[in-house]
């Protein structure tokens, strides 16, 4: 039996064609979770995002980037996966304020201070070191700009749900996550502060168990616990 490659970044190219298939094992859970993330962005910044310059780091197939562009934001999505970017660009073709850039999120080829908002959705647990994402976000943001990070906590509950259960029963591809890379809220907040991203506001999640069992994809909603996945808003210090 071949060993599973953990945090297998090649799977984003192998499965790229399925990014916009909300029923697929590859992207179904990301579609479900993206509803929560998009709602959190709109709740924080308003439903009309016109005039907002956004960089979506680790944009993948463009689920969040495109949702924000559809609400009027000018969005640049950055990712290392050429296949994912091709699918993202094709799906978002016709949206004048959406573009994509191939690159490493640790050093995205974009000017300092160009963004009002930087998003990093389910990204930091895939990047080594994850603090480099926060450093990049801080560099891209104008003073007072906002950063929204979503990720998975390093708890036994998250390890069991996101790796053993979700990968075990085929809710997501095997090798998607390395649970040792999961980041606790305290670690995230400390690393962000070290790069000038302050005023952290943590958002907990609850599992929507019925929808998860009904669709075999992980659905989440606002909740009081950060023990599974969570989000955090930051503000770049002036």
Ligand X SMILES: C[S@@+](CC[C@H](N)C(=O)[O-])C[C@H]1O[C@@H](n2cnc3c(N)ncnc32)[C@H](O)[C@@H]1O
Q: Binding residues for ligand X, per CB under 6 A?
A: 9, 12, 30, 34, 58-60, 63-64, 79-81, 84, 104-106, 121-123, 126-127
Our CB check for ligand X shows the closer of 22 and 237 to be 22
CA atoms of 123 and 11, how far apart (whole Å)? 14
Terminus-to-terminus CA distance in the chain, angstroms?
A: 54
Which residue in the shown chain puts its C-beta closest to ligand X?
60
Our CB check for ligand X shows the closer of 130 and 237 to be 130
Q: How many CB atoms lie within 10 A of CB 26?
A: 19
Our CB check for ligand X shows the closer of 48 and 107 to be 107
How many residues make up the chain in this entry?
238
Distance of closest approach, residue 84 Cβ to ligand X, in angstroms: 5
Our CB check for ligand X shows the closer of 75 and 238 to be 75
Our CB check for ligand X shows the closer of 132 and 165 to be 132
């Amino acid at each position: 039996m071949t060993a599973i490659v953990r945090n297998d970044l090649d799977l984003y190219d192998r499965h790229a064609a399925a990014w916009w298939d909300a029923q697929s094992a590859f992207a179904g859970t990301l579609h479900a979770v993206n509803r929560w993330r998009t709602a959190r962005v709109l709740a924080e910044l308003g439903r009309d995002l016109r005039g907002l310059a956004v960089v979506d780091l680790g944009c993948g197939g463009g689920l969040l980037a495109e949702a924000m562009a559809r609400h009027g934001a000018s969005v640049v999505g950055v990712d290392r996966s050429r296949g994912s970017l091709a699918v993202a660009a094709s799906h978002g073709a016709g949206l004048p304020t959406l573009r994509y850039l191939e690159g490493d999120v640790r050093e995205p080829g974009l000017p300092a201070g160009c963004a009002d908002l930087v998003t990093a959705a389910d990204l930091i647990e895939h990047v080594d070191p994850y603090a480099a994402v926060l450093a990049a976000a801080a560099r891209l943001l104008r003073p007072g700009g906002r950063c929204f990070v979503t990720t998975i906590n390093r708890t036994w509950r998250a390890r069991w749900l996101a790796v053993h259960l979700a990968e075990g029963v085929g809710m997501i591809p095997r090798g998607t996550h390395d649970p040792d890379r999961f980041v606790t809220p305290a670690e995230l907040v400390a690393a962000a502060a070290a790069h000038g991203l302050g005023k952290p506001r943590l958002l907990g999640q609850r599992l929507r168990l019925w929808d998860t069992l009904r669709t075999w994809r992980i659905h989440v909603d606002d909740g009081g616990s950060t023990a599974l996945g969570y989000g955090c808003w930051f503000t770049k210090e002036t």
